[in-house]
Amino acid sequence: MIAQTLTPTMTESRAADSAISVLDDIGNTPLLDLTPFARSCGASEHVQLYAKAEWANPGGSVKARAAFKIVEEAEADGRLGAGQTLIDSSSGNTAIAYALVGAVRGFPVHLVMPKNVSRERKALVKAYGATLIESDPLEGSDGAIRLVREIVAADPGRYFYADQYNNDANWRAHYEGTGPEIWRQTQGRVTHFVAGLGTTGTFVGAGRFLREQNPAAQLVAVQPEDELSVIEGLKYLPTAITPGIYAPSMVDRHMAVSAETAWDVTQALARTAGLFVGFSSGAAVAAAVQVAKELPHTADGVVVTLLPDDGSKYVSLGLFD
């Protein structure tokens, strides 16, 4: 049976250290067994479905991995030094992660977010002491990107522009962390990796590692079905600013998910599996279940996806009422 949690040597080494930072708890998230859910949706008994519970990270999302890696590398090479302010754009989770890391490391953080992001995400950013700058809600995440570029251009010496969409530390966080965790937690049996495309760091980094371990592993990229399908955390790349870190040649299959389907699966996960997750998680599971259902009934598939966050940051939107 595939282990549901990972107990790394890193954890053992922490036990001897009485002073542990909250940042030390980034990564090594549980791998949850969603096989019963997949089979209830029609998947073969030969197929297994697993999902990384990324809300277990400090800050409550997968974005803690990339944010911390970006900061670590910038501090190490001097791009983020004394007196500088970290600035970036985000639709929410990366903003929260930057704010948390800044609070621990002791540097100011300015974050540009669309004005219409949920009340919870704004509150969390402010709780960690970061400065929130709101961009045009009608322009979405691309509008936030354009505004942060204008702010940095006006006063470049003041800021370290983290630039999560074009910073290779983003995908390296998943190449060095998420990918190896999935490989160990499945004992190298993963056959399909399904991940949503936002900054694309998770897909590129974890996918690159898994492909190196097993060239036959299939990498499935998930996007909204069109630009009108709003799924928080995901981008419809044909009409969006394409992240510089994206590697389209890595994609074995593109899967489009409607906002309605993402919501239906999100609701089903809460009510039948006890998993209260965000909408991008619902989209990822919807795609992963479809992959599992399409595998031949004689094939022993191990499909792994990733749940970027839980549903707590979306309650005020009213969609769970």
Retrieve residue 278's tokens.
Answer: 């965000």
Question: What is the distance between the alpha carbons of residues 67 and 104, in angstroms, rounded to a whole number?
Answer: 13
63, 69, 122, 313: which is the annotated catalytic residue?
Answer: 63
44, 61, 91, 280: which is the annotated catalytic residue?
Answer: 280
Instruction: Using DSSP, state whether 84 is helix, strand or coil.
Output: coil
Would you call 293 a catalytic residue per the annotation? no
Partner residues linked to 133 by β-bridges: 112
Per-residue CA distances from 282 to 48, 75, 196, 288, 297 (Å): 18, 35, 10, 10, 24
Question: What is the distance between the alpha carbons of residues 281 and 120, in angstroms, rounded to a whole number?
Answer: 18
CB 225 within 8 A of CB 257: yes
CB 294 within 8 A of CB 288: no
Helical residues (DSSP H) of 106-159, grouped into ranges: 119-127, 140-154
Would you call 249 a catalytic residue per the annotation? no
Residues identified as active-site: 63, 280
